[in-house]
Amino acid sequence: MKKLVALVLAAVMLLSLTSAFAEAEKPTLTLWCIATESDANRPAYEKAIPAVEEALGIKIEWEAFENDSYKTKIKSTSADELPDIFFTWSGAFAGDFAAAEKIYCLDNEFPNYAADLPEVMLQNSTYGGKHYAVPLTMNIVTLFANMDLLKQVGYDAVPTTYEDLIACCDALVAAGIIPFGCSGNATWCVTEYLEPIIEKTIGYEEMNEIFAGRATWNNPAIAEAVDTFQSMITKGYFDPDGLSLDNDTVKANFIAGKYAFYQNGSWNCGEINDAEGNFQAALFPVMNSEKATYGQVIGGPNDALAVSAASKDPDLAAKAAFALGKEICHYGYLAGSGLPAWTPDYDTSAVKPLVADVAKMVAESEGMVLFGDNAMSADPANVYLSYVAKVYGCEIDGAGFIEALANELQ
Amino acid sequence: MKRTFTYKLNIVLFLLPALILFVGILIAPIIMSAYYSFHEFNLVANTDMEYKGLENYRILFSSMLTNPNTGKLYANSMYLGDALGHSLVLAALSTFIQLPLALIIALKLSKGIRGERAYLSIFFMPVLISTVIIGRLWMNIYDPGQAGLLNAGLRALGIDKWLFPAITNSIKSSKLPFTGQWTGFRETALIAAFIPILWQYVGYHMLLMYAGIKGVPADLLEAAQLDGCTEGQVNRFIIIPYIKPILKVCVIFAVTGSLKSFDLIYALMKDTSRAELPSTLMYKLLFLHQRYGLGSAIAVVLIVLCFLFAVLISFAFRDKGAKVA
Amino acid sequence: MIEARKFKPSNIIVHVLLIILVLINLFPLYWMITFSLKTNDEILGYSYKNEAGERILVPPNHVGLPNHWEWSNYEEAMNTGNMGQYFVNSLAISVSVILITVIASFMATYALTRLVWKGRKVMNKFFMLGLTIPIHAAIVPVFTILSKLKLLNTYAALIFPYAAFALSMGILISVGFMGDIPYDLDEAAFLDGCGVWKIFIRVIAPLMMPAVATVGIYTFLQCWNELLFATIFVSSGKYRTLPVGVQQLFGQYTTRWGPIGAALTIATLPTIIVYIFLSKRIQDSFIAGAVKG
């Protein structure tokens, strides 16, 4: 018996070894991304990949990882273990890879696609004047509203002033409806609320300066914004369960009609648009009209594909990355999992209404600030996130928040 | 005879596989960790090692100091103080709740109760289940939504009506009401992490103790019974002193296990900050902050602490053992 | 001691308490298996509109058996989750680690206890340092070493570190077992003209067979569950181990409880089944470790 088990094991190990040497006929590229089963971008990848395989006569072996674990995984993978093409966030995140020359410069391939891809969309992944990543879609923080619930308390439109929003929330609470849902399990979800509030208090120019490390966090207006956010939490505007729920559950709760509002990335547009119910997209209202305007948004072209510098055929991988970027953008836009970074050369009449609304907001935007955790490099971004996490649980107040960040980041 | 048994080459050859593994993968890395801890570098960005002296340790420990100017703790996101405090609480809970429970069960089972073997098997079973799975299973049990088993049970029994407000009142770290988010608050997250540990490892310690008790010579026990000792007296004066070496091992495992524990917290909570332990903090510093020097400094602190506790516990047990004898 | 087995009323209380503990022990597993076979609607509760247009709320089914047995959850976990592959990987890694640990620790123990040389006590103490060193503390240096040796993303990336960290326990246990083998046997074999290697292979190793099971169990417990090394040192799905695979699957199905439950069950059941058949042997070997160590 023991010998049999040993034999079987030996056979299994041998098989797995030999399979590693099996060769494929077509050139094969590997791809890592975060388009897991539950991710809004999944359908776009599922359509784009076969299309690109067909067009370029290649085979793409792809694997999807969960968002949070992907961040650590991609950073802890040594250069020669990286797949040929991988999803990355632009800004400082991809900047680390570019600085270490772990990703391949795409300047040779870019001119072939420049007609469809405005150069401004590459600005978040351009380092030292060189382009290092292919943008997919762009996204902004969007305030989604369940109009059926708003109607119950007498609102036909999403409030556009802060006073009106508070009055609406009070009415909702009085009617036994929870105004907002926010996941406390993933800190980036909290930033989706906090960053627009800060932006609408201090204005986008100042906020960009702070994220870039050129202005101090020690700004009483930020403390005021944090206190505003916390006053909304303590007044019971947020579902307390959210503290230990993950984002997918919170989103499912919103779609199921448990919350009146859900503020998160515009990549949710398609899913919310298709759900049963009457939903609208809006922006967070202005808190300080001297510094900010309604049209200022948080976001930008943030999702991108990079090519590993250690790829066996980086030029082919670069070609595939651009082709994939274009197709993922195309299908993502139509599915409503993002706004186009590439100029559409296809029929856009089928774009979902909610997506079209957000696209309009972007087109008319009066200022843009990149998501904080992408604008800053790894260490400051995570220090920032660790304090944002404490804000949601009301463990520190506004004054504590700015003091701590000023202390540690400047 | 002596010659072959002392032949130096043979000694080296016999030790070689173990030494290569042990020194190459355990001792050398620890020395490297110590070296890294005086530097800062980024493995992703391939930056050069920058000598920092004791700066990393200052950053870690300053979170435990009070700023003389403001009278408040130094603001610091590397809550080493919290993490150490949490692991000490976990160690205390394990030593003073888990081990006594294991001892009581072991004492009862070892006295020849019907179905002894079946009980042993069932209590030991969770030890074999992957910690990641246990973490996730308990995450579902603690779920604050509709499906969570614990909250559903509490609601069905009507306990939530008075328990939840009571917990809300005792929560100091947050202004949010407690509605069953067991992993959401500092005060509850650590307890929430301890319960699965207790659930998984009580059987482990119980089996170790059971083995020890079975090793107590029968004539010792019979003599005690003839002297008219009650069961409690036999337990207290004969069995427990006899199995002291095993109890020592159990305490060392429970305490160093608490210092080391990572998998469970990581699987149980996506955001570990409310029950931060040195190992989860190290993970964050290494792979999120990309501060490999600072992370290595925590690794060194961890090693020193584990070692220190092992020595202290051995010392405590040696002392008392001498008195009994 | 036969009298002790006699019926005593106090024993009933003990049994009742023990059975309560058994239920607490088994209930989470029962719950896991039942929700692995339910639909999300059944787990979370749902509402629907009846013919009269009223909304009917169906509360979640927490502890009951599934109303509708949703076997497709398992299909999904197997297909998307690749659990079979991860299971084989974990098994291959664990078996290799056990083999290496057993051989290395038997050899070292032989040198430490049967061969006469100065410094063997110190060397033994040196190996015992490994008992308290937390495995995770070595992650960065081990990562750099593996990366320099180009061993990342192979079975070896996990096998050697796991074996290194299991070694101290292995030696501790082996010293206990080897001490029970009478020295006369060595002497007799020596007089027959055997060298140390022959004595080790022909005389000592066969008598150490019971120790294989004990070292094996402690080693298995250490490496079967390990998560951090397995996450960081292996990135390709080909070599991924079960804990990482399960963790990965959770990320994919954050809101769908059924496939998560199925994955949990798939990852747990094989060990439990093996345990049910071998529980006495496993416990005896485990106990032997406690006594010898």
Reported as a single tens digit per residue, the pLDDT across A217-257 is 999 999 999 999 999 999 999 999 998 888 888 998 999 89
What is the ipTM, given to two decimal places? 0.87
For residue C92, the chain A residues in CB contact (below 8 A) are: 9, 12-13, 16
Judge whether B156 lies within some domain: no
Map residue C149 onto helix, strand or coil.
Answer: coil
pLDDT tens digits, residue range C274-291? 888 888 888 888 888 777
CB contact under 8 A, B29 and C221: no
What's the 3-state SS for chain B? CHHHHHCHHHHHHHHHHHHHHHHHHHHHHHHHHHHHCCEECCCCCCCCCEECCCHHHHHHHHCCCECCCCCCECCCCCCHHHHHHHHHHHHHHHHHHHHHHHHHHHHHHCCCCCCHHHHHHHHHHHHHCCHHHHHHHHHHHHCCCCCCHHHHHHHHHCCHHHHHHHHHHHCCCCCCCCCCCCCCCHHHHHHHHHHHHHHHHHHHHHHHHHHHHHCCCHHHHHHHHHCCCCHHHHHHHHHHHHCHHHHHHHHHHHHHHHHHCCHHHHHHCCCHHHHCCHHHHHHHHHHCCCCHHHHHHHHHHHHHHHHHHHHHHHHHHHHHHHHHC
Q: What is the rounded average pLDDT of the residues A184-204? A: 94
Domain final residue pick, C15, C48, C70: C70
A195/B9: higher pLDDT: A195
CB C110 within 8 A of CB B20: no
Q: What is the residue-averaged pLDDT of chain A? A: 89
Q: Are residues C91 and C30 in the same domain?
A: no
A31: nearest CA partner in chain C: C236
Which letter does DSSP use for residue C65 in this model?
P
Exposure class string for A306-319: b at 16+ Cβ within 10 A, else e: bbbbbbeebebbbb
Tell whether C64 and C182 lie within a shared domain.
no
Query: How does C251-276 read in b/e, with b if 16+ C-beta sit within 10 Å?
Result: bbbbbbbbbbbbbbbbbbeebeeebe
Q: Where is C160: in which H helix or E strand?
A: helix C156-179
Q: What percent of chain C has pLDDT over 70?
A: 95
Query: Percentage of chain A with pLDDT > 70?
Result: 94
Question: If you average pLDDT over residues A256-285, what whole number do you get?
Answer: 94
Instruction: Classify residue B249: in a domain, yes or no.
Output: yes
Residue among A36, A247, A249 whose CB faces C252 most closely: A36
Cβ pairs B/C, distance under 8 A:
274
Chain C contact for B69 (CB, 8 A cutoff): no
Give the span between the Cα atoms of C31 and B289, in whole angstroms.
38
**pLDDT for A315 beyond 90:** yes
Which residues from chain C sit within 8 angstroms of residue A76, using beta carbons? Answer: 143, 232
Is the pLDDT at C227 greater than 50, yes or no? yes
Over range C18-40, report the average pLDDT.
Answer: 90
Subunit contact B144:A394, Cβ cutoff 8 A: no
pLDDT digits 0-9 by tens, C54-92: 767 777 787 788 888 888 888 888 877 678 888 899 999
| SS3 per-residue string spanning chain A | CHHHHHHHHHHHHHHHHHHHHCCCCCCEEEEEECCCCCCCCHHHHHHHHHHHHHHHCCEEEEEECCHHHHHHHHHHCCHHHCCCEEEEECCHHHHHHHHCCCECCCCCCHHHCCCCCCHHHHHHHEECCEECCEECEEEEEEEEEEHHHHHHCCCCCCCCEHHHHHHHHHHHHHCCCEEECCCCCCHHHHHHHHHHHHHHHHCHHHHHHHHCCCCCCCCHHHHHHHHHHHHHHHCCCECHHHHHCCHHHHHHHHHCCCEEEEEEEHHHHHHHHHCCCCEEEECCCECCCCCCCCCCEEEEECEEEEEECCCCCHHHHHHHHHHHHHHHHHHHHHHCCCEECCCCCCCCCCCCHHHHHHHHHHHCCCCEECCHHHHCCHHHHHHHHHHHHHHHCCCCCHHHHHHHHHHHHC
User: Which residue in this structure is represented by tokens 């190793």?
Assistant: C205
Query: What pLDDT is attached to residue C7?
Result: 56
Contact A78 C152 (CB under 8 A): yes
Per-residue pLDDT band at C2 (split at 50, 70, 90) = very low
Phi then psi dihedrals of residue A352, to 5 deg: -70, 145
Contact across the interface for A16 and C247, Cβ inside 8 Å: no
Rounded mean pLDDT of A262-289? 93
**How deeply is A19 buried, as exposed, middle or buried, from its count of CB atoms within 10 A (0-12, 13-18, 19+)?**
exposed
- Are C181 and C106 members of one domain? yes
Determine the average pLDDT of the residues in A363-370: 91
What pLDDT, on a 0 to 100 scale, did the predictor assign at position B4? 57
The CA distance from B115 to B125, in Å, is 16
CA distances in angstroms from C5 to B97, B213, B231, C1, C11, listed in the order given: 29, 17, 14, 8, 10
In a domain, B277, yes or no: yes
Residues of A with CB below 8 A from C238's CB? 16, 20
Give the pLDDT of residue B324.
Answer: 40
Last residue of a domain, one of C43, C70, C97: C70
Express each pLDDT in C200-226 by its tens digit.
998 899 999 989 999 999 899 888 889
**What subunits make at least 3 CB pairs under 8 angstroms with B?**
A, C
The pLDDT confidence band at residue A6, using thresholds 50, 70 and 90, is: low
Mean pLDDT of A269-281: 93
Alpha-carbon span B29 to B35, nearest angstrom: 10
- Joined tokens for residue B297: 């400094």
Coil vs helix vs strand at C255: coil
In a domain, B257, yes or no: yes
Say which residues have a Cβ less than 8 Å from residue A300's Cβ, sequence separation at least 6: A90, A124, A138, A139, A140, A368, A369, A370, A371
Nearest one of B210, B199, B203 to B246, comparing CA atoms: B210
Is the pLDDT at C121 greater than 80? The verdict is yes
- Beta strands A28-33 and A59-64 are parallel
Min Cα distance C80 → chain B (Å) is 18
Q: Which residues are C126's β-sheet partners?
A: none
Domains and CATH numbers, chain A: 24-137+301-362 (3.40.190.10), 139-300+366-409 (3.40.190.10)
DSSP state of C199: I
Q: Is residue B14 part of a domain?
A: no
pLDDT of residue A133 exceeding 80, the answer is yes
Strands C55-58, C46-49: pairing kind:
antiparallel
- CATH code for the domain in which residue C163 is found: 1.10.3720.10
C164 in the same domain as C61: no
Q: Which of residues 42-101 of A touch C (CB under 8 A)?
A: 63-69, 72-73, 76-78, 80-81
Closest CA relative to residue C176, chosen from B249, A331, B264: B249
Point out the residues of chain B with pLDDT beneath 70.
Answer: 1-6, 45, 63-79, 319-325
Q: How far apart, in whole angstroms, are the C-alpha atoms of residue B37 and residue B295? A: 7
Residue A266 pLDDT > 50: yes
In the prediction, which pLDDT does A96 show? 85
Looking at C70, C105, C123, the residue that finishes a domain is C70
Work out the average pLDDT over C126-144.
Answer: 89
Structural domains counted in chain B: 1
Contacts of A155 by beta carbon, 8 Å cutoff, 6+ apart: A168, A171
Tell whether the model's pLDDT for residue A10 goes beyond 80.
no
Asked if the structure places residue B319 within a domain, the reply is yes
CA pair distance A272, A266, nearest whole angstrom = 10
Nearest CB to A245: which of B144, B177, B290? B144
Whether C1 has a pLDDT exceeding 50, the answer reads no
Q: In sequence order, what are the residues at sequence separation of 6 or more whose Cβ sits closer than 8 angstroms to the Cβ of residue B182?
A: A244, B142, B144, B150, B188, B189, B191, B192
C64 in the same domain as C90:
no
B219-244 tens-digit pLDDT: 888 888 888 888 888 888 889 998 99
Amino acid identity at C132: T
- Regarding whether C81 and C61 lie in a shared domain, the answer is no
Same domain, C126 and C50: no
Q: Is residue B182 part of a domain?
A: no
pLDDT of residue B81: 84
Per-residue pLDDT at C3: 46
- Residue C136 sits at the chain B interface (C-beta within 8 Å): yes
Clarify whether residues C137 and C251 are in a common domain: yes
* Residue-range definition of the domain harbouring residue C19: 2-70
C59, C87: one domain: no
Q: What is the C-alpha separation between A97 and C29, in angstroms, rounded? A: 44
Strand, helix or coil for residue C182: coil
Q: Which residues contact C282 (CB under 8 A, 6 or more apart)?
A: C217, C275
Q: Is residue C38 classed as helix, strand or coil in its secondary structure? A: coil
Mutate one of A16, A61, A271 to test the C interface: name it (highest C CB count within 10 A). Answer: A16
Mean pLDDT computed over A204-229: 94
Cβ-count burial A54-72 (b if 16+ within 10 Å, e if not): eebebebebbbbbebbbbb
Cβ C55 vs Cβ C49: under 8 Å: yes
Residues of chain A in Cβ contact (below 8 Å) with chain B: 68, 71-72, 75-76, 96-97, 99-102, 184-187, 230, 233-234, 240-241, 243-246, 249, 253, 378-379, 382-383, 386-387, 389-390, 393-395, 400, 403-404, 407-408
Chain C residue set in contact with A, beta carbons under 8 Å: 80, 88, 91-92, 95, 143, 147, 150, 152-153, 231-232, 235-238, 247-248, 250-256
- Residue A169 has a pLDDT of 97
Residues C64 and C80 in one domain: no
Asked if C47 and C105 sit in the same domain, the reply is no
pLDDT confidence of residue B322:
46
B122 within a domain of the structure (yes/no): yes
CATH number at residue B315: 1.10.3720.10
In this structure, are C122 and C12 located in the same domain?
no
| Domain residue limits at B111 | 29-66+78-138+199-324
Of residues A36, A91, A72, A41, the one with CA closest to residue A298: A91
